[in-house]
Structure 1
Amino acid sequence: MGLIAYIKSLFIVQLLVGFVFVVSGLIINFIQLCTCVLWPIDRQLYRKINTRLSYSLWSQLVMLLEWWSGTECTIFADQATVDKFGKEHVIIILNHNYEIDFLCGWTMCERYGVLGASKVLAKYELLKVPLIGWTWYFLEIVFCKRKWEEDRDTVFKGLAQLKDYPEFMWFLLYCEGTRFTPKKHEISMEVAESKGLPKLKYHLLPRTKGFTTTLSCLKGTVSAVYDVTLNFRDKKVPTLHGIVSGKKYMADMNIKRYPVEEIPEDEKECATWLHKLYQQKDALQEHYEKEGSFPGPTIKPPRRLWTLLNFLFWATLLLTPLLNFACGVFVSGSPLLIVGFLIFCIIASIAVRRLISVSELVVPPIGVGLLCTALWFHLIHMRQNFHGSAVPLPPTCTPLPATLAHPKEVFSTYQISKFSASVSLTGPAQYQSDVPL
């Protein structure tokens, strides 16, 4: 193990990296909260500011992938498709097999200038995750429940609201709904058999409602659908903890572009089109398993310095006073201060480890979660005692009890609906409860 690799593996170093991400994220979330007053005045300005604020947070995770771990991503696509990247609104369909598949998607977004404006149809549980869920909320991310009859209006309003988004956006859909596991695959194929659909070997049965609804609502805005199939060489299974520890992975992404004009508008025909697409994805995955590579031309878009410079800015801003304070504590020789500081470090280490595990959990991380939840309820208390002039916010709005209010509501007469995970499906009940939209 080289010296640099050894330094990356040190827990104290990982703790400092986590500290920078958490504290900068809280600062960014606070600034985003302050920008809410811009919504009724200039919605597009609000969006442009929040796009850049979000970039400042997301790019820190991309930096870990690109610069910290040195993970390389190779694209398999024709040049005509590559020339369109970052120049149009699109829907991304991505297989959901890995813990860091979203991070590989983000690195492509960053390299083509759309990271800050990237969107996703997400489960409500993710809204509970500090920093990530909160930043998504300010980005007008659409969250959904498990019951379509309850989700319908909220999803329609949320998607329709994005039709005039000023930045080119890549809207990610995990049509399988949940990460692939052998057990989920077995249940999914039981559903496929009951519906008379061809069985898939490497994917779960796609959930068509989310795709058809998104495509219909964003008609006239999105130009194409990108079908993305992600794999890692040597059959490695990457983890976020591995990335933080500096482990390098080799990712391959096959991307095929489908103009929206080629996709049927009728809901049933569109659903059939999606099922056929997943049969093609399965065949492509089979090819990768046998050959160790996707077919077609390759391109390696260069990583950009912006992610590294952004992290260095936050690290300098936040670590300088922290290290000065730590030195002062130990120089003082006060047992009380030293013990207190060590306890703080232990709590922070637990919080960072929990935050690293966010890609495996759907509950708020302990530690950071407790702190941020306390801040959340403090803001709720502020809202309940706020009697100033009301400022309307993005109207993804349905009545909600005050105890479930979002911090953004400090400025709003509206109440943002508490979204949950996904659309319920036909088939075994166990599969219905586990698979999102």
Structure 2
Amino acid sequence: MLDFLPSPVKGVLSFIGYLINTICLTVPLILTALLKFVLPFKGVIVLLDKILIWLATLWITINGMNCDLFNRIDWQVKGLTRLKKKDWYLVISNHQSWVDILVLHKIFNRKIPMLKFFLKKELIWVPFLGLAWWALDFPFMKRYSKKFLDANPHLKGKDLENTRKACEKFKHTPVSVMNFVEGTRFTPEKHERQKSPFYRLLFPRAGGIAFVLGSMGEYLNNIINVAIAYPGGIPTFWDYISGKTKKIIVDVDVFPVKEQMIGDYFNNDRFKQQFCEWLNQTWQEKDKKLEEILLFEPTDRSSA
């Protein structure tokens, strides 16, 4: 434990650790992924996917050790006992910071199948990580604005088609499909612009998870609903790696995928309304839970 070091020193050393770990494990990840193109046989692909997941799990494990080496974080995590490593999950969470991804990796590592995030297409250019995400079959999504689609109607439904192709890849190996339902990180400006009825959350977007459930309903057994709270204020990546984040509270709720959660969201108005009502209710409960979690915790209310 090197928590006694000054914060800037801890941050630099920790960042170097993350960087070396990422570079060293990205190379075998990419080489293994290239074999999938050279040997496109189902049995070989399944085997290579297991190797890729093992490498990614090792990367996450080392990152967790790096965090523990330089930081003394009080982790308060509830609800992990019912999880299984050989099951399919849809994971939904509130989103406040890039740190959320590191938190989710750390608490779920080796407890459920590796998290697969839906990423913006531009993130493929992130050094090393972009190639690693590509190698691990993370789906890269390109979002089109309504104005752009009106001018280019031939692209309507293209994002959904990409989601469908991604879901097909998830069917032969247990996976945890991760979705930040709000679609973006929480900020006071976004909260005000949306006129969100929630105190600590933005509006949830139902289309993405409805489509995933519709495409993979026969495989996805459970939904993991995560509430992440930072009592000391929402941290940046630098805050996290330099030891400024002292406490993280995570509440995990697991419930089964029910028949009424699966349907044609885009063509069945009745199902769409029902699904949105369920998701909004889930988000109201999450907002209330976050308030209860932070009620007696020291926090910077201005950051919420």
The interval holding the TM-score normalised by the smaller chain is 0.7 to 0.9
Residues 363-399 of structure 1: per-residue CA shift (max 9 Å, x gap) = xxxxxxxxxxxxxxxxxxxxxxxxxxxxxxxxxxxxx
Question: What CA RMSD, in Å, does the superposition of the two structures yield over aligned residues?
Answer: 2.6
Residues 222 and 9 of structure 1: CA distance in aligned 2, closer, same or farther (over 3 Å): same
Query: Runs of 4+ in structure 1 displaced over 4 angstroms?
Result: none
| 1:75 corresponds to 2:77 | yes
Query: Contact 1:66–1:72 (CA<8 Å) still a contact in 2?
Result: no
State whether residues 101 and 230 of structure 1, in contact with CA within 8 Å, keep that contact through their aligned partners in structure 2: yes
Q: Aligned-pair distance for 1:5?
A: 2.0
- SS of alignment partner, residue 186 of structure 2: coil
1:282 aligned partner: 287
Match for 1:21: what amino acid? N
Residues of 2 paired with 1:97 and 1:254: CA distance? 15
- Which residue does the alignment assign to 1:430? none
Are 1:109 and 1:170, in contact at CA under 8 Å, matched by a contact in 2?
no
Letter in 1 for 2:218: G
Partner in structure 1 of residue 53 of structure 2: 51
Q: Any stretches of 5+ residues in structure 2 without a counterpart?
A: 145-155, 266-271, 299-304
In the alignment, which of 179, 189, 201 is matched to residue 185 of structure 2? Answer: 179
Look up the match of 2:66: 64
Q: Is the 8 A contact 2:226 2:252 kept in 1?
A: yes
Choose which of 249, 253, 256 in structure 1 pairs with 2:250: 253
Residues 38, 45 of structure 1: 8 Å contact kept: no
Secondary structure of the corresponding residue to residue 119 of structure 1: strand
Instruction: Trace 1:236-275 onto structure 2 (pairs within 5 A).
Output: 236-261=233-258, 263-266=260-263, 267=265, 268=272, 269-275=274-280
> Are residues 1:210 and 2:216 paired?
no
Greater shift, 171-180 or 40-49, is seen at 40-49
Aligned to 2:158: 150
Calculate the TM-score normalised by the size of structure 1: 0.58
Q: Where does residue 230 of structure 1 map in the other structure?
A: 228
- 1:18 to partner: Cα distance: 4.9
Aligned length: 276
Q: Which amino acid letter does the alignment assign opposite residue 216 of structure 1?
A: G
Q: Secondary structure at the match of 2:122?
A: helix
Cα distance between partner residues in 2 of 1:62 and 1:104 = 9
Q: Check conservation: 2:30, 2:131, Cα contact below 8 A.
A: no
Instruction: Find the residue that maps to 1:221 and give its secondary structure.
Output: coil
Unmatched tracts of structure 1, length 5 or more: 193-198, 294-437
Equivalent position of 1:35 in the other structure: 35
Deviation at 1:219, TM superposition (A): 0.8
Within 1, Cα distance between the matches of 2:60 and 2:128?
10
SS of the counterpart of 1:155?
A: helix
Q: Structure 2 CA distance, aligned partners of 1:153 and 1:16?
A: 39
The secondary structure found in structure 2 opposite 1:291 is coil
Select 1:134's aligned residue among 131, 136, 144. 131
TM-score between the two structures when normalised by the length of structure 2: 0.81
Aligned to 1:384: none
Contact kept? 1:229, 1:281, Cα under 8 Å: yes
* Contact 1:230–1:252 under 8 Å retained in 2: yes
Structure with the bigger percentage of helix = 1
Q: Residues 187 and 222 (structure 1 numbering): CA distance in 2 closer, same or farther, change over 3 Å?
A: same
| CA shift for structure 1 position 34 | 4.0
| 1:67 to partner: Cα distance | 3.3
Whether the aligned pair in 2 keeps the contact of 1:212 and 1:271 (CA below 8 Å) is no
Q: Which residue of 2 aligns with 1:5?
A: 5
Q: % of aligned pairs identical?
A: 22
CA distance in 1: counterparts of 2:284 and 2:194, whole angstroms: 14
